[in-house]
Structure formats: structure tokens, C-alpha cells
Amino acid sequence: MPDGSDIVYSYDGSFEGLLCCVFESLEKREVPAEILLKDAPQGVLFPVKNIITDIHKYDRVLSAVTDKISFSALDFARHAFLTCLPQKERYILLFLRLGFQYGASVMDMLTDEVVNTLFKAVKHLKRESHLLKGFIRFSVNSNVLTAEIEPKNYVLPLLSRHFCGRYPEEHFLIYDRTHGMALVYRPYQSKIIPIEDFLLSEPDPEEQAYREMWQLFYNSIEVEGRHNPKCRISHMPKRYWKYMTEFQNKKNCLPKLCEPCLKD
């Protein structure tokens, strides 16, 4: 692999932009030491090359990936892009370069450092999104379902299909506090949009009643003779508890979305 690690790329933060970085790297036969976001503060001494997103180059890389590597490799790269892995951009670039070298079998090269690191990151992402499919709690407020999450990875794109398929006739919103984004759905239309404002309001009596019933159910279903808090924590890490109804006391408020988002 050519060693050109005295250069740094900066890109616009989109997957399209990242594939343009891959294009640049292959064309110039260089591997950047780092790939940064355009507006990120730069503390590096290397010269920074600004990669402009060009949809034409993006298309070329995209079809090369599916032709020369595989569809599953493209899927894998897309998923890797959503993870919280530090320097994920550089790892994805290295992964795709490996892929162009070895073809479809790159997906099986789990002992390779790059593939292994990405593989673990993607596993983390998938596990988190799978857990959240269960742990998300909606509050019903004037017939709109709202929920709040604080994931490490950017899981909203993975949750979208599941929840849109599950509640086709509802209006709902899932707010991702970590990334400042929200998944908004109304019958047969969904969108992921940036959101900053998020107001809280008191639950109405009906909502409050169901919350209490759920808490009651949660507490009564435990078999006391088998109490095992360690087992619970390992299945359901504490960081998820914050937004779960069963662990909230009655005083807690429910999130209410701001007006402009409702009209969207």
C-alpha cells in the first residue's frame, strides 16, 4: 500500500464526501494520515487537502465497490459510517482499499486489524440499535408518540424502518439527544431532521395511568426468590435506564416537540 501519510483530508461529513476521499486516495495513490470534518478545529501539522464532494466521483466509487468488492461490503461501509468509532473515516477508506485489493473475501478477513476494528464497531452499532428497538419508551401526548434516546452511535437510520413498519398509522417522533437529530413520522412518510429545541410538558392523566400500570407490571413480574441485579445490568446497561418509564418516578415530565416540527 502506498504510504502517503503526511497528508490530511477534510470532507463535508457526508457518506458521498467520504467516497470522494476514497476516490482521491486511489487516484493520487496516497493514504491520508487522518480524515477530518471540514469545520473541525485542526491541530495537525500536515497539509490539509480539502476534498470537494462530487456526485460524479461518488457514483464511480459506488459502482466500483459493488462490482469489484460486493454489495455486503457497501452495506458494511455504510453501517460503519454510522458508528462512533474514532477515525472511522480513515478505517473505512483503508477497508475499501483492502477490498479493491482482495475482492469480496475482504469481508471474511476478520483477523486483519482494519477489518476487525470496523467489524467490532459495526457490531456495537447493531447491538445498540437492536437494544433500543426494545428500550425506547413512547409517551402519548395529543395522539402523538414521542420518545427520547441518548445513543453512542447514530442509530436513527437503523431504527427508522422498524418503527415505521410497526406503527404505520401513528404520528411519532424519536429524538436523538446525542446527535441533535430526530426521526419524525406521519402515516407513510418519515424523515430524519435536525432538532434543537425540545420542550417538556406534564403527562395527561391517561398517560400517567398507563405509566403507573407499566411500573406496577414491571415490579410485580419479578420473582423475588431469583433476584439478580448483576444479570439485569449485563442485559440492560444502566445508561439506557434514564429514559425508561419503569425507572422514572411520577414527577418526571414527558418530552413535547416544538411547534414547527409538528407542522413539517
Partner 1 sequence: MDVFEKLKILTSAAKYDVACTSSGANKKAVPGGIGSASPWGICHSFAGDGRCISLLKLLMTNVCINDCKYCVNRCSNDVQRTFFTPRELADLTINFYRRNYIEGLFLSSGVINNADYTCEQMIETLRILREEYRFSGYIHAKAVPGADTALVAKLGMLADRISVNIELPSQRSLQLLAPDKPAESILTPMEFICHRIQENISDRKTFRHTPKFAPAGQSTQMIIGATPDTDYQILRLSHALYSKYRLKRVFYSAYIPVSSNTLLPPVGSKPPLLREHRLYQADWLLRFYGFSPGELLDKENPNFNPFIDPKCNWALNHMEFFPVEVNRASYQELLRVPGIGVTGAKRIISTRRTGVLNFDGLKKLGIVLKRARYFITCGGRTVEGLKCNQDEILKSLLSKRALSMYNQGLPLQPQPEQLSFFDEPLLSEGDNRKCLTGQI
Residues found near partner 1 in the complex (CB under 8 A)? 102, 105, 108-111, 116, 130-131, 133-140, 145, 147, 162, 165-170, 209-210, 212-214, 216-218, 220-232, 234-236, 244-246
Q: Which is nearer to partner 1, 4 or 134 (CB)?
A: 134
Torsion of CA 168, 170, 176, 177, to 10 degrees: 180
Provide, rounded to whole angstroms, the least separation between the CB of residue 47 and partner 1.
35
What is the pairing mode between strands 199-201 and 144-149?
unpaired
Provide, rounded to whole angstroms, the least separation between the CB of residue 85 and partner 1.
16
Q: Which is nearer to partner 1, 46 or 217 (CB)?
A: 217
Provide, rounded to whole angstroms, the least separation between the CB of residue 134 and partner 1.
4
Q: Which is nearer to partner 1, 17 or 203 (CB)?
A: 203
Provide, rounded to whole angstroms, the least separation between the CB of residue 113 and partner 1.
9
Q: Which is nearer to partner 1, 88 or 137 (CB)?
A: 137
Q: What is the separation, in whole angstroms, between the first and last Cα of the chain? A: 48
Q: Give 245-248 contacts, CB < 8 A, sequence gap 24+.
A: 245/137, 245/211, 245/214, 245/215, 246/214, 246/215, 246/218, 248/211
Is residue 184 exposed (0-12), middle (13-18) or buried (19+ Cβ within 10 Å)? Answer: buried
